[in-house]
Amino acid sequence: MSPAHAVAARNISTVAGDDEIMMSDEQLRQALQEVSADIDKLSNSDKPLTKEEKENQTRLSRRKYVLGKIKEAKDKNRKDDEIFNFTVYELLVPWGERHPSLMGIMVHLMRIKWGSGLASVSIREAGVKEKK
């Protein structure tokens, strides 16, 4: 294990213990189903969407995207990405939907902090590709 991976593993375990679950698989599945059902209701409407319905559809799409990222991180057993995306989801639902531009700034700042060694090695490695 490289020093960077060791630091990341240590930081992850201090943020969330091995037995601590951000969101259980059942809760995640249920949240994804609810969001998908709400999006389908809006999408399957015969009449054009009002401004409020379009905004609600955008909010629901963001939720679904972040929940999908949490599911992807769980499936790949990437605890660091799971913690990051769960944190984004926890901020997105109560606060970020009322302040979308500030939420974008906060997520950007979180990615900078997360990638600088707080927890996520995968975020830093995502931008580094092997050149052939």
Confidence of residue 11 (pLDDT cuts 50, 70, 90): very low
pLDDT, position 81: 83
Tell whether 132 is covered by a domain: no
Tell whether 131 is covered by a domain: no
Tell whether 75 is covered by a domain: yes
pLDDT, position 116: 55
Tell whether 25 is covered by a domain: yes
pLDDT, position 126: 46
pLDDT, position 21: 58
In the predicted model, is pLDDT for residue 131 greater than 50?
no
| Residues 109 and 87 sit within 8 Å (Cβ to Cβ) | no
pLDDT, position 36: 92
**CB within 8 Å of 67: residues ≥ 6 apart:** 28, 31, 32, 35, 89
Tell me how many degrees the CA angle 123-105-55 measures, rounded to the nearest 5.
Answer: 110
Query: What stretches of the chain show up as alpha helix (H) in DSSP?
Result: 3-15, 25-43, 51-75, 79-91, 100-113, 121-126
pLDDT, position 78: 87
Average model confidence (pLDDT) across the chain = 74
Q: Rounded to the nearest 5°, which phi and psi values hold at 100?
A: -65, -35
pLDDT tens digit sequence for 71-127:
999 999 888 888 888 888 888 777 877 887 888 888 888 888 776 554 444 444 444
Tokens in use for 5?
Answer: 């991976």
Q: Which domain holds residue 70?
A: 3-126
Q: Rounded to the nearest 5°, which phi and psi values hold at 97?
A: -70, -25
Tokens in use for 30?
Answer: 């249920």
pLDDT, position 127: 46
Tell whether 44 is covered by a domain: yes
CA distance 95 to 45: 28
pLDDT, position 29: 93
Tell whether 17 is covered by a domain: yes
| Residues 63 and 103 sit within 8 Å (Cβ to Cβ) | no
In the predicted model, is pLDDT for residue 30 greater than 90?
yes
Choose between 7 and 104: higher pLDDT: 104
**CB within 8 Å of 50: residues ≥ 6 apart:** none
- How many domains is the chain built from? 1
CA distance 105 to 65: 17
